[in-house]
């Protein structure tokens, strides 16, 4: 039986829905009735989704407020890889305010993968 899932997303949130869909899927695990702990790791260009300056509506995409509200209601844990943040030129001050957002190292990511029953990559 699957008790924990890890979703790793690395695609740009501009013009694609992969990073947003990762949050929707993670929130959906909670709605299954039987709790499945889900964590989502943002790496690569997906880190831009967590920038407080992100404005997806400028390129014709949906506003992110509803997506992050759904994540918050689901108590979804989000992680951002520190090296991907650095590559994107982002600091902690550049990130959205989200209580369950954690900055992690590659070693932490390895631990998350090792401890998850199942992993997905978007």
pLDDT in the model for residue 16: 75
- Strand, helix or coil for residue 39: strand
User: Using 50, 70 and 90 to split pLDDT, how confident is the model at 117?
Assistant: very high
User: Which comes out higher in pLDDT, residue 47 or 65?
Assistant: 47
Query: Which tokens go with 20?
Result: 């947003």
Locate tokens 């899932």: which residue? 5
Q: How many CB atoms lie within 10 A of CB 35?
A: 12
71-97: pLDDT as tens digits = 988 889 999 999 999 999 999 999 999
Q: What pLDDT does residue 60 have?
A: 62
Q: What is the CATH number of domain 4-121?
A: 3.40.1260.10
Write down the domain spans for the chain.
Answer: 4-121
- How confident is residue 43, by pLDDT bands cut at 50, 70 and 90? very high
């Amino acid at each position: 039986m699957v008790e924990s899932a890890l979703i790793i997303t690395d695609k740009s949130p501009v013009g694609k829905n992969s990073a947003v869909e990762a949050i929707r899927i993670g929130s959906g695990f909670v709605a299954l009735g039987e709790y499945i702990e889900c964590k989502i790791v943002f790496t690569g260009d997906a880190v831009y989704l967590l920038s407080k300056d992100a404005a997806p509506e400028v390129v014709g995409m949906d506003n992110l407020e509803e997506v992050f509200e759904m994540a918050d209601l689901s108590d979804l844990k989000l992680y951002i890889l520190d090296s991907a943040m650095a590559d994107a030129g982002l600091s902690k001050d550049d990130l959205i305010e989200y209580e369950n957002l954690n900055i992690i190292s590659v070693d932490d990511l390895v631990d998350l993968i090792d401890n998850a029953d199942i992993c997905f990559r978007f």
